Amino acid sequence: MPSRHLLPLSSFFLILASCHSNPNSAQLKEIDNGLRLSIYSIVGQNAAVYVSLQQKLADPATRSFSNRWSPFALKVQMLSAGAISYIDSLHAKMSTSGWLSKEDEKSLFDTLVNCRHDLLNVFPDSLDPSGGYIAEDRIKLRRHIPLLLDTYGHAQPDLTFSEWADHLFQRDTSLITLSLDKLKIDVLLSEQEIVKYCDKHIISTVDRFDIFAPLVTLNSNVVSPGDTIELRAGIGEYLSSARTTVTIAGISVLSISGGFTFYKLRASEMPGRYFIPVTIEYTKPYGGRSTVTQDIRYRVINRRAQ
């Protein structure tokens, strides 16, 4: 499970303090701009995961697992949105009053503690009747989601509000906005970790593999001595799950390996122009059947009369 997150909050402010004993407003604004760009980027990454989940839900080959895992991803999205909304409300209060009350800080702490708890317990034991991987993966997620981790990346189950508030805000109003932005990043990255976990468990229930076969055609089925013959050759790629059905001249013909169908017929005894109707029906890669119809034309000539 990936563990590349932004710095824990305490490490972030330790670096800030070591670089600038008394950072000015321009320096703080530059740091805040960087944090906001990070938020924008993470939101985009999370949106891409939800698009993947939607695509897998629409694909018949992955729909079964999507129905199993997607509801938990959507619940995670809702939990994250609730925490983000509360952080945004504190941002708005900071813009108008310039400070947060002790009650605001305590409410924020409780919101984040509850969010972390709910995120880590979003998967019920019924997902894993054997009792194996869910419990083990919960432990891994507990170590990897960045929300309320300490400086060394360890979870803080016994963290008290006083310790958290004193360490986070340091009684410095100039750092509160930065703190709120960093907390928002922690929430979004925690959301991302868990929805990616859901996404990777949605696999195809259809056995499909690629088949390669030659494609060779002639430009004409009627030639005379000395005529130029054009031959085209290449490799066609087929999905074994396409379940191709071919109908030639109204007769259903079985396809062999490689998606090819072979059919022999005797040409008419009467000179003239004729055609053979061919219909090919197949399953598209993301579900649904498609049909292609084409008339294959040929000509019968009486060479003895020429």
Residue 237, Cβ neighbours under 10 Å: how many?
Answer: 10
**pLDDT for the residue 113:** 92
pLDDT per residue as tens digits for the range 235-260: 455 555 556 777 877 878 776 555 56
**pLDDT for the residue 111:** 95
**pLDDT for the residue 235:** 46
65-69, 145-149, 255-259: segment of lowest average pLDDT: 255-259
| Whether pLDDT at 225 is above 70 | no
Record the pTM. Answer: 0.62
pLDDT per residue as tens digits for the range 41-55: 999 999 999 999 999
Task: Work out the burial of residue 107: count CB atoms within 10 Å of its CB; fewer than 13 is exposed, 13-18 middle, 19 or more buried.
Answer: middle
Cβ neighbors of 101 (< 8 A, separation 6 or more) are: none
Alpha carbon distance 68, 286 (integer Å): 19
Domain ranges of the chain: 9-200, 210-305
**pLDDT for the residue 2:** 41
